[in-house]
């Protein structure tokens, strides 16, 4: 059993109660919502997807540990504008007057 499946089962045992197991395992969570897990999943990522959905429903934030060795030595440059602002402001009334429109 994978770590994500164990984590999913632990959270469901801690925060939910198994209601039925016909074609799917249906749990009633502490907050009153129903959570369904397939009995025979066909997707390889089912445990990851179900675990992320369960965390979202329960309001559990995922802790992401950053590796300090992978940090950049130099911080990235400040965000650049996609387009440089014009050097001077265009007065459209004056511009139209000059081209006589």
Per-domain residue ranges of the chain? 3-57
The SS3 call for residue 3 is helix
Cβ within 8 Å of residue 9, ≥6 positions away: none
Residue 10 has pLDDT above 60, yes or no: yes
Residue length, the chain?
Answer: 101
For the cut 80, the answer to whether the pLDDT of residue 41 exceeds it is yes
Tell me which range, 4-18, 50-64, 76-90, is most confidently predicted by mean pLDDT.
Answer: 4-18
Q: Which of 2-16, 41-55, 69-83 has the lowest mean pLDDT?
A: 69-83
Residue 2 has pLDDT above 80, yes or no: yes
21 C-beta neighbours (distance < 10 Å), count: 10
Grade residue 37 by pLDDT with cuts at 50, 70 and 90.
very high
Mean pLDDT along residues 31-41: 91
Are the beta carbons of 20 and 12 closer than 8 angstroms? no
As a whole-number percent, the residues of the chain with pLDDT over 90 amount to 42
> Contact at 8 Å (CB) between 28 and 16?
yes
One DSSP character per residue, 58-76 reads HTPPPP----GGGS-SSPP
pLDDT of residue 9: 93
Which of the two residues, 87 and 27, has the higher pLDDT score?
27
């Amino acid at each position: 059993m994978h770590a994500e499946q164990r984590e999913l089962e632990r959270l469901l045992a801690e925060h939910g109660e198994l209601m039925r197991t016909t074609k799917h395992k249906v749990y009633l969570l502490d907050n009153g919502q129903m959570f369904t897990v397939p009995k025979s999943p066909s997707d390889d990522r089912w445990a990851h997807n179900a675990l992320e959905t369960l965390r979202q429903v329960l309001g559990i934030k995922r802790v992401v540990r950053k590796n300090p060795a992978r940090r950049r030595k130099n911080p990235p440059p400040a965000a650049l504008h996609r387009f440089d602002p014009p050097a001077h402001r265009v007065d459209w009334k004056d511009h139209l007057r000059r081209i006589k429109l």
